[in-house]
Structures are given as structure tokens and as C-alpha cells.
Amino acid sequence: MAERSPIIYLRGYAGPPSGVDRQVDDPFYGLNSGATHIRVGAEGTPRFYQFEGPLLRLMSDEGYQLLVRGDQHAHLQSQADGAVAPESIWVHRFYDYAASTFGTSVTTAPEEFDLEKAAERLYDFVQLVRRKTGAPKVHLVAHSMGGLLARCMIQKVSHTADPRTGEPRRAGSELVDKLFTYGTPHGGIAFDLGGGLVDWAMETFGPKGSDIFAPDRMYAYLTPGASHGDDPPPGWRPNEIPAGTFDARRVFCAVGTNAADYGVVEKAVGPRSDGLVHIDNAYVRNAHRAFIHRSHSGRYGLVNSEEGYQNLRRFLFGSYQVRADLRGLNLPDRTSGASRVWQAEVRLAVRGLPTVMHEQRAAHYCPIQLNQEAVQHGSAEGDTGGVPLATAFLLDPANGRAGREDRPTPRSRYTLVLRVFHLVEKSGRFFWEDHLEQVPDWEDTLIVDVGRRGSYEETGVQAWAAWNSGVPGSIDDTDPIATEPCRMAEDGEGLHTEIPMPEVVHPILGNGSRLRLAVSRFS
């Protein structure tokens, strides 16, 4: 089993001082909250579904511990170096310094919240956790603004000398193994406020709080040497981590797509959001991501969802990474003088889970725009690029914690549902005369089994794949899903194979269209 890393949780923005006081009363800053509602029911009403919360589930699934002992920071400091188990969960309680309810037990007077100061304290806390556990690195798990706090520490604080000693700090890439964010506004938050939304903004952010998410303010706390008021240089984008600072492939962003469950603010941000953060602003460029039909927070929020947790668990502890891309597209462009806009919907499910891991759907305002993506990634016939569909992180079934130990040849299975449809555009407007709403031009499901080649001691992986339309009977009765494994080719990053698209879709996607699967070890 791979070496374990401590997990440090970071909550999101708490709002004005009254909101801070409410949050510090929660022992885990609300990050232990689960859910009892799921939006599934034959009669269209929410049904009971119990998810006990990410912290408790990490304890039961992965054997982690919550070491509080009255005061987690004091308890940690009292331990000998290297004496604390690395399989431990911690909460960076950075808001305690801004609370008015602790008197002088934390500080002489409540501070006005400052993100950079909180990031400096996070750096110190990470170093303390590393020293007491003996772990080389930690995982950071953050909701909303907490992800920006983590990035401030990684991108700026760790590259700035300690003002107390003048000594250089260690680079964030040497301290943090993986960063997972829920609904973090990596690209900022923009509001077009009016009417009662101004009152909502004041209640939620306070008189000055919302500027934390403005791009110019983000530039100051994400860039070494920058100060508040400095203008970002041309081309600077807040959702990019500079090359050499931290590998974006060690970042996973859970993107919420349910704006309706968040309340009045959805009217300010728009439906293509989680209710607070726009979909296009919720991820780091080149990072892994999953689109989840959950809201920013609340009863149907990202953090207290099992969909979010299952992506978190597999990203932190998965053994395999499987990436699916579309290659060789040759899309029909025009019909009867009108342009065709081709879109795809994708849904990713993993065997043994009651929830969908990832879904991009037109109804959620986030389909894959095939025309644009094909141009951007160079996936036209004969090109080497590919339109990204989904990336899955799979637990190794040979690990007892992954379950299903009764299988004689354990394999991880996931399915990728792919729907392709088109809209017709004339004179800049959609043309509906021949349109059939929600009827795809083509739909099928790719079933993929991933496992080891040979004994558990070997590091090689193998994949079996088949389109559901070609599998007779129930797919549960066929394991592996194909008689012969895929023919895998090896490159510098792992193994890959290309699966031809069914002939029935060739008139749409092109005769040379294929789906490329890249399978690699991930740790």
C-alpha cells in the first residue's frame, strides 16, 4: 500500500463577523456535515438517503483518525515528533482569530479576516503536521474560498521569506501532495447585482468581503511580490497555476452544476453555475475535474454529497487513472444553408457506487461543445489531439478497503455513457422546425474493466472494453466485459488503446473516429 498522507480541511468564506462567530462554534467548521436528502423519487420529491459525511466516511473507508483531544492544535504540539499517525484528519481553524466569542484565548482582540495571513498560518500548520506525523507531504481538501487560501499558500506564501526570521520557506510543491477543491472560484466571482441582491451580498460577504474574489485582488494574494492594488499583467488569469509552482495534475476540482438549490443568488450568477460560482470559474486549468449536479453548499451541496466524496476518495487513494478522449472527429458542418452545432453529453459511473461520479449534460448547462473542442484540441481526422471526455481514478480492488475481495480476479469497472446530438443555427438563432428535444442522434455506453496483468505484485495494468450495444444480455453477467483484453501500446506516461466508434455513428463523428483510453498508475 502506498504511503499515507495527513489530510487538512479548509472551509469556505464565512461572511461578516456574525457569520464568523457562527462558524467557529462548529468543531469541524461544518466540514463534517452529511446529508439525508437525495433528489431522486418516482413522485418527484426528495427522498431519504443517508450519507454520514466525508470525515466519518474517510474514517470507515480508509482508516483515518480525527485527533482533536479538546484542542487539535495544542494536542498536536504536545506530541513527540513523528509520534502521530499519518492517517489523520485535521481542520485548519483559521477563522478563530477573527471570532469575537473566544475572548483572549486565541488573540487579544478579534482580527479582521485576512486571506494572506490565514495562508501564512496554514503554512505553519502544514509544517507542524508534517513534523509530528513524519509524513513528507499532506493532502489539502478545500471548499470554496478555502481552495484559494490553499493556492495562496502554495503559490505565494511558500515562495516568500518568513517575515519573523527572514529565512526562505519551503516550496508548496514540497509540502502538498494533492489539492482537492469543492466549488472553489478559481477564476473569481462576478455579480451583476440589483434590487434585493445587494442586501443579500452585504449579508453574505460583508461590506468588503466580496473583493476577495475579484481578479485584481486574487492577483495580489496568488503572486509572489505582488501587493493589494497592483494591476495584473496582460494575459494573467487567476485560474492558472504557474508552471513550476505546482503540478496542476495533482489538483482535482469538483464543479457544481445545480444553481437552483442555492437560492436568490442564482439570479445574480446565472443558471450555468452552482448558484454562486460560475462553471467556467470553478476549476484550475489543466487540473482534473468532475461535474456534479449539486449546489455550492446547503442541503444539496457539494461538500456533503456522496458524489463529491467518491471523487475525493479516488483522487487521494486511487491506484489507476483512466482518461477517455475522442479522436479523429469529422463532424457534418452544414445542412440546408444552416450551421450545425454538435454537442455531447457524458455520464461516468463506477461499479459498486450508488451515485454518478461525473455528468456533463445540456440540461445542466454544461454539455461538451464538440465543434469548439475539436478545433481547440486538434482532434480532426489525422490529428494527434483529442476531445477530453472524462478522467476516472479507480481504487485497486486488490486493496481490501476497496471492497469486493471475493472476486477471483478483481477488476475495477466503470461505464461511460455518451450521447451525441445537434442543434441547427440560422442567422445566429437556433432553428427548431425539425428538432426533436432531448432525442440524441446517437447514444451508447462504453464499459471498461481495469485490472492488473498477472499477480498483485506486478505493476502493469490491463483493460477490457466493449460498447453496451454489442454485449448480449446483462452486463453484470459478463466479467471481464470482453473476451480479449485491449491491445495496449506504451508511451512515457502509461498504456493506451484506441477503440473504434460503432459504425452506426460514423456518418456523424467520421469514419476514423475512435475513443482513446489511457491507463496509468496513479499515486
Give the tens place of pLDDT for each residue, 368-393: 999 888 887 765 554 556 899 999 89
DSSP H helices in 210-305:
215-222, 266-269
DSSP state letter for 163:
T
The low-confidence residues of the chain, meaning pLDDT below 70, are 1-2, 39-44, 103-108, 190-210, 263-268, 334-338, 378-385, 397-410, 426-438, 452-460
At 483, list the grid cell. Answer: 473476451
Bridge partners (DSSP) of residue 184 are none
CB 183 within 8 A of CB 302: yes
CB 141 within 8 A of CB 9: yes
DSSP state letter for 2:
P
Distance of CA 495 to CAs 179, 253, 411, 463, 519, Å?
Answer: 25, 25, 17, 9, 5
Supply the angle between the helices 115-133 and 145-155 in degrees, to the nearest 10.
70
Of the CATH numbers 1.10.730.10, 2.40.37.10, 3.40.50.1820, 3.50.30.10, which one belongs to the domain with range 7-317? 3.40.50.1820
DSSP state letter for 164:
T
- Sign of the CA dihedral 389, 416, 283, 153? negative
399, burial (CB in 10 Å: exposed 0-12, middle 13-18, buried 19+): middle
Distance of CA 370 to CAs 32, 403, 419, 512, 513, Å?
Answer: 39, 37, 12, 16, 13
Distance of CA 42 to CAs 39, 46, 299, 363, Å?
Answer: 10, 9, 20, 19
| Angstrom distance (rounded) from CA 320 to CA 395 | 7
pLDDT of residue 204: 57
Element (H, E) at 119: helix 115-133
The strand pair at 88-91 and 387-394 is best described as unpaired
Sequence-distant (≥ 6) Cβ neighbours of residue 429 within 8 angstroms: none
208, burial (CB in 10 Å: exposed 0-12, middle 13-18, buried 19+): exposed
Nearest to 391, CA basis, from 356, 417, 357 = 357
| Angstrom distance (rounded) from CA 380 to CA 387 | 10
Residue extents of the structural domains in the chain = 7-317, 321-521
SS3 for 403-458 is CCCCCCCCCEEEEEEEEEEEEEEECCEEECCCCCCCCCCEEEEEEEEEEECCCCCC
pLDDT of residue 32: 84
| Angstrom distance (rounded) from CA 51 to CA 448 | 27
Element (H, E) at 464: strand 461-467
